[in-house]
Amino acid sequence: MSDDNSLRMSVNEGGGAAISPAAQPVLELKGVGKQFGAIRALQGVDLSIGAGEVVGLMGDNGAGKSTLVRIIAGNFPPSQGSIHFCGREVHFHRPSEHQIGGKNYPMEAHFVHRAASGGLAVVGVLMTTGRPNPAFAQIVATMPDKEGPAVKADARINPNQMLPNRRSYYRYAGSLTTPPCSEVVEWLLLADPIQVAEADVAKFAKLYPMNARPVQKLDRRFVLQGV
């Protein structure tokens, strides 16, 4: 992995060990294609968009522009190829900052995303003790042992490994959980926790015995449940 696409790891006072991408496209498509029965709407589309770039799609009627936009929006999956969205960072809290059914979890991961317009969305992943998680184990094994400048993280860390197989979620409009607790943030809390080794949680706890914001009241917020 080149320096331009590398990860950076830091230990900070508020959010724990944070993994963030260096210079990386906010959206990248590789070999994207779409087939509707015998009709081939798209084939071999490659696209890379950086932060702040404005991109227009031009072509004849039936060229697949609308199909491409709908694939990016998640209306339906591509038949071939891959789509990658670059998040801002992933960081961790101990214990969890969300509860399900009144239950806290040992830790919680936050995948922070920022749109070019400045809007924020955070995907929360609850973490319980059990089987080791390869990505989190690698983070804990290589994270700095004290606060300081960001260091280059192990390029083999794959944040996708810290997502559960089932992606049902709770959704609500809230705020960031670290100062200045900015609003409005689109929160998506995944309903299923991932398992991580108890020893890895204990090692994280040596740096951060407690770095979680207390659970907040709903204050007339609506919590929606997706499947």
State the Cα–Cα distance between residues 25 and 87, nearest whole angstrom.
10
Are 161 and 200 within 8 A, CB to CB? no
Are 195 and 125 within 8 A, CB to CB? no
Tens-level pLDDT at each residue, the chain (227 residues): 233 344 555 655 555 566 655 556 777 888 989 999 999 999 999 988 876 678 888 888 888 889 998 887 767 778 888 776 666 688 999 999 999 999 999 999 999 887 756 778 899 999 999 999 999 999 999 888 887 787 777 778 888 899 999 989 999 999 988 888 888 899 999 999 999 999 999 999 998 899 999 988 888 888 998 76
Q: What is the pLDDT of residue 155?
A: 76
Q: Which DSSP string corresponds to the chain?
A: --GGG-EEEEEETTTEEEEEESS--SEEEEEEEEEETTEEEEEEEEEEE-TT--------TTSSHHHHHHHHHTSS--SEEEEEE--SEEEEESS-S--BTTB--SEEEEEEEE-TTS-EEEEEEEEEESSPPHHHHHHHHHS-SSS-S-EEPPTT--GGGGS-SS--EEEEEEE-SSTT--EEEEEEEESSPEEE-HHHHHHHHHH-S---PPPPP-TT---EEE-
Q: What is the pLDDT of residue 7?
A: 55
Q: What is the pLDDT of residue 171?
A: 95
Q: What is the pLDDT of residue 123?
A: 94
The whole-model pTM stands at 0.68
